[in-house]
Amino acid sequence: MQNADKLTKLASYGKYGGYILAGVGLAAGCVQIANEDNQQKKNEIFVETIASTTVGVVVGWAVGVFLVSNPVGWGTALVLAAGTAAVIYIAGEFAQSVYTTKGSKVDLVTGLGVNSICR
């Protein structure tokens, strides 16, 4: 029974962690966009935030597909979490770099109305 309580608490911490990671990531991106004067930089931050969030959720779903046939232990779970975090970070940075190189003519922040939300 005590073990069940511990697991329930652990699951709650995991959920809070998910909220914090996603919420803080998006909120931080929004604050950065609001504080930035340069339109180009605003767009770069937007692309990075959206790409990393999307990749995070997509990889999470793919992990779900894998989990049903492969119950994982703590070691594998940690490797999966670290790998996912690395992929999310690299994808965000790379998408920003690709935008800067090839897409800077497209003003996504203004076009999608992000300016009026993050100000």
Partner 1 sequence: MSIELFRYPTYLFFILLLTSMACLVFIFIIHFFVPKVMIKTYFKEPYFSLLEIKLFTGPPYAYMRTAMMMRLAGWPDCGKNRGIPVTAHEVCPVWFQVLSRVFIRIFLTIVALFLFVGVVLAIAFTAFGVW
User: Would you tell me which residues interact with partner 1 (CB under 8 A)?
Assistant: 4, 7-8, 10-12, 14-15, 18-19, 22, 51, 54-55, 57-65, 67-71, 87, 90-91, 94-95, 97-98, 101-103
Instruction: Specify the residue, 27 or 57, whose C-beta has the smaller distance to partner 1.
Output: 57
Instruction: Specify the residue, 105 or 119, whose C-beta has the smaller distance to partner 1.
Output: 105
Instruction: Specify the residue, 7 or 31, whose C-beta has the smaller distance to partner 1.
Output: 7
Please, is 46 exposed, middle or buried when counting C-beta atoms within 10 Å of its C-beta (0-12, 13-18, 19+)?
A: buried
User: Are the CB atoms for 108 and 114 separated by under 8 Å?
Assistant: yes
**How far is residue 49's CA from residue 95's CA, in Å, rounded to a whole number?**
9
